Structure 1
Amino acid sequence: MTTHTELPPMRERLLDVGDKKIFVAETGDGSPVLLLHGGGPGASGVANYARNIGELAKEYRVVVPDLPGYGRSTKGVDGADPFGHLADGIRGVLDRLGLERAHLVGNSYGGACALRLALDTPDRIDRMVLMGPGGIGTTRALPTPGLNSLLNYYSGEGPSRLKLEKFIRDHLVFNAADVPDEVIDARYRDSIDPEVIAAPPLRRPSGPNALRTLWRMDLTRDRRLARLPVPTLVLWGAKDKVNRPEGGRMLADRMPNCDLYLAANTGHWVQYERAELFNRLCADFLAGRR
């Protein structure tokens, strides 16, 4: 597995999107590609895709936002409809950048955001790559140990570096040694931002409308999947302990234009653990190369 993480120079800005600010970094020229990061504690766009941005920027205009609730973007996510809230924010990014259409690449929480955005406004999306996306069959089985670990991070005794390390090393990746200590240290620092602790962006639904929220968050129950025209590549780690790999087959069975690739000996972080494979498959698929 490659460990090359050198980033090209990136243009950074805060975009006003409705009543929130969304941080965006971008580099490269060509067709625009938005990289949407996962929802784990301390996640952010550039850090999540550090092994991919440089390669994709050789062919594409790579736009990397911090999702609402994360990084340098405004904190807080609508707990009643988190996927819709994220999708609305990223659609606002497209509007602010003057992009009528773009490719989407989404990992986990970002994958759920991408899919919801495509379902709501398919005319804005050219092609889409999803890696272990959230919201796939979530009401059909109990949460995985990895997802429970993620959702419990801010509960109980609260966040700690040990809890984050266990989540990353025990659940997020196939080979714990692939993640250096400095990655965990940086994620932990970001995870204990007081604004994030006050409003965790990914939490277990609760309250009187919890069941309705859970149902809404299971995107495989959305009838629009069966007629979604967006060409989609689903990449899933065969050893994913956060979102079940069977979700890939669910999407391939329901979506009319969906390719599925299952990566052996890979966990939830396909773009990080199998960067060279991901970069090649992603670049080729977005360009329409088979």
Structure 2
Amino acid sequence: MTSIDGELTERTVRVGGREIQVGETGSGPAVVLLHGGGPGATGIANYSRNIGELARRFRVIVPDLPGYGRSEKWIDHSDPFGYLGRSIGGLLDELGIDSAHLVGNSYGGAAALRLALDRPDKVGRMVLMGPGGVGTTRALPTAGLNALLGYYQGEGPSRDKLRRFIREYLVFDGGTVPEELIDQRYAASVDPEVVANPPLRRPSGPLALRTLWRMDFTRDSRLPALAHPTLVIWGANDRVNRPEGGRMLAGTMPNCDLYLAANTGHWVQWERAELFNTLAAAFLGD
């Protein structure tokens, strides 16, 4: 499943008193790959078709976001994207990296945007694929987002629920997803710590509305002034986050380009790996 050339080293980095698992390979300008928030997601698995190609030109850093993989299973649910942004910024500080390019898919795209807004000096260029938090509180959730958020609800996680989410909502052609990938994701998704405290869930309680507002970048007055060169790549058939979000970002951020990929779902970097690798390497290396 992987196409990683050369040695990929893995280690744990302590950030703000909590542990983040990090993989690293390649040399050159630093590029941080931030994965999505689907059940069982990890950095290396989500970018298995991209790490090797990008490492030919860049120092590629691939963390498991807090709550996922081998990173610590805790996030601040009152401000999830803010916590992710602080965690990645702190990781760059611990690694001694003044500034890095960010590549973010979905949940990871939201983390990238929040870090750029909160600590613009830490971010160079950004490549965002169907990022979360782009108008998602202004309309009813998509079927794909409901499937994602409902994974740990009801009867709880199951392989059938995960298979349906991946094959029906994550990609355009579900037949391209091997059973091995579903098995790997399912095993990670039923980690007892994750089941007890799912990292991505619907806000609830008396402060739920405030949390939702924090998770919607269209309500952030700083977005129109976010001048970082940004390439948004959105699958035209994305059933998790609506492609209209890409047009909104391109119309709001002053240096934002948009590429709409035909016959492609939410997982652009996996489903259209060759296209993604070409676009990302050219944009980040410009």
TM-score normalised to structure 2 length: 0.99
Aligned counterparts, 1:36-115, within 5 A: 36-115=34-113
Runs of 4+ in 1 over 3 A off after TM superposition: none
Identify the residue that residue 166 of structure 1 maps to in structure 2. 164
Q: How many Å apart are 1:19 and its aligned residue? A: 1.7
> What do residues 248-277 of structure 1 show as CA deviations (whole Å, max 9, x unaligned)?
001011101100000000000000000000
Give the whole-Å Cα distance in 2 for the aligned partners of 1:6 and 1:272.
11
SS of structure 2 residue aligned to 1:196:
helix
Q: Structure 2, unaligned stretches of length 5 or more?
A: none
1:96 and 1:79 mapped to 2: Cα distance?
A: 24
Q: Deviations over 1:147-197 (max 9, x none)?
A: 000000001000000000000011110000111000000000000000101
Root-mean-square deviation over aligned CA pairs: 0.7
Cα-to-partner distance string for 1:205-255 (whole Å, 9 max, x where unaligned): 000011111111001111111111210000000000000000000101110
Q: Which residue of 2 aligns with 1:29?
A: 27
1:6 deviation in Å? Answer: 2.4
**Does the 8 Å CA contact 1:122/1:229 hold for their aligned counterparts?**
no
In structure 2, the residue corresponding to 1:223 is in which secondary structure? coil
Aligned with 2:214 (options 210, 213, 216): 216
Counterpart of 2:276 in structure 1 is 278
For residue 123 of structure 1, report the CA deviation from its aligned partner: 1.1
Per the TM alignment, residue 5 of structure 1 is displaced from its structure 2 partner at its CA by 2.6
Identity %: 70
1:186-201 superposed matches below 5 A? 186-201=184-199
The separation in 2 between residues aligned to 1:220 and 1:35, in whole angstroms, is 23
**6-15 vs 115-124, which deviates more?**
6-15
Distance 2:131 2:261 in 1: 14
Letter in 1 for 2:80: P
Q: In structure 1, what is the Cα distance between the partners aligned to 2:155 and 2:47? A: 30
1:12-64 Cα shifts (integer Å, max 9, x gaps): 11001012100000000000000000000000000000000000000000000
State how far apart, in whole Å, the 2-side matches of 1:255 and 1:73 are.
32
Give a deviation string over 1:91-146, Cα, whole Å, max 9, x none.
11100110000000000000000000001011111100000000000121100000
Give structure 1 stretches of 5+ with no counterpart: none
Q: Distance in 1 between matches of 2:263 and 2:2?
A: 21
Q: State how many pairs are aligned.
A: 285
TM-score (structure 1 length as normaliser): 0.97
Residue 287 of structure 1 deviates from its aligned partner by 1.1
